[in-house]
Amino acid sequence: MAYTLNDIVDRIRTFTASWRLNAAAESFADMTLAEFEAVNEAPLRLRREIDALTLRLAAKKAERDDADRAARQSLTRVANSIKGSPRYGANSALYSGLGFICDRDRKSGLRRKFKNPPTSLPEA
C-alpha cells in the first residue's frame, strides 16, 4: 500500500509510540529509539517550518490586499481631482493618458442591432 506524504507523519508517530511502549531498550535496523527519532525529525521539523511560513504568507497576502485598497483609493482620488480640475478636466490628454475615456470620445445614444436584419418589407 502506498502512503501519501501526510501519512508519513502519522506513520513516524505510530512507529515511535509503539517502539517506546513495547521495546524501548531494543535496537532495530541498527538504530536505537533515540537514533530513529533523530533520523525522522527532519520531516516533522520541515512540516512545522512550512506551517509557519504558510501563516506568514497568509498574513503578507492580507497586508498586500490592504495596501492595494489604499492605492486604489489614492488612484480614484487623483483621477477625480484631474476630472474636476478646471485646468485639465474630463477631456484632457492627462485624463486620457490615465486610461479613462474622455467625454468627447464617448458615444451617445442607444443603438440596437438586429441579429437578422430584414432584407425587404413584406407586401400588404
Q: Per residue of the chain (124 residues), what is the pLDDT tens digit?
A: 566 767 899 999 999 999 999 999 999 999 999 999 999 999 999 999 999 999 999 999 999 999 999 999 999 999 999 999 999 999 999 999 999 988 888 876 677 777 776 676 666 5
SS3 per residue for 73-122: HHHHHHHHHHHHCCCCCCCCHHHHHCCCCCHHHCCCCCCCCCCCCCCCCC
SS3 per residue for 31-51: ECHHHHHHHCHHHHHHHHHHH
Q: Which three cell numbers stand for residue 90?
A: 474630463
pTM for the full predicted model: 0.59
pLDDT score at 114: 72
pLDDT score at 37: 95
